[in-house]
């Protein structure tokens, strides 16, 4: 089941394209969203690299990937994020949790690296 705090909205900016913002204050430690995922096997994961979905998937285990539903695949990257993502393999979901207080009107950002990815490299120019 997808759950999210009230007040999240999508805003398109010239610098980063679409991103997720909040109209209410969020406290560090709050779960922002619990997004269900569509899990792709290793064959589908190889195919994702040939599609526009390449920029929107999460690594899921060793050879699989996941597409987050809800707002999950739209959070932008930051080298100084105010939220993190937590892969929940048992419930087939990704939790997005505030790691800093986030004020109303701010963009919610994550760092695209997970603890499982030791050879992670950003594939785009970072715009802070």
pLDDT digits (tens, 9 = 90+) for 64-123: 999 999 999 999 998 899 999 999 999 999 999 999 999 999 999 999 875 444 444 544
pLDDT of residue 88: 96
pTM: predicted TM-score of the whole model, two decimal places: 0.84
Q: Which domains does the chain have, with CATH numbers?
A: 3-110 (2.170.270.10)
The helix or strand, by DSSP H or E, that contains position 18, with its residue range, turns out to be strand 17-22
Q: What percent of the chain has pLDDT over 70?
A: 86
pLDDT digits (tens, 9 = 90+) for 1-55: 567 889 999 999 888 789 999 999 999 999 999 999 999 999 999 998 889 888 8
Token pair in block for residue 65 = 């990937």
């Amino acid at each position: 089941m997808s759950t999210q705090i009230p007040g999240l909205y999508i805003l398109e900016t010239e610098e980063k394209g679409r991103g997720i913002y909040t109209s209410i204050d969020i406290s560090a430690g709050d779960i922002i969203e619990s997004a269900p995922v569509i899990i792709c096997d290793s064959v589908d994961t190889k195919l994702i690299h040939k599609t526009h979905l390449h920029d929107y998937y999460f690594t899921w285990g060793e050879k699989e990937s996941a597409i987050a539903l809800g707002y999950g695949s739209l959070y932008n990257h930051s080298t100084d994020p105010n939220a993190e993502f937590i892969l929940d393999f048992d419930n087939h979901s990704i939790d997005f949790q505030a790691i800093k207080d986030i004020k109303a009107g701010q963009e919610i950002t994550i760092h695209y690296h997970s603890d499982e990815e030791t050879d992670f490299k950003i594939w785009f120019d970072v715009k802070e």
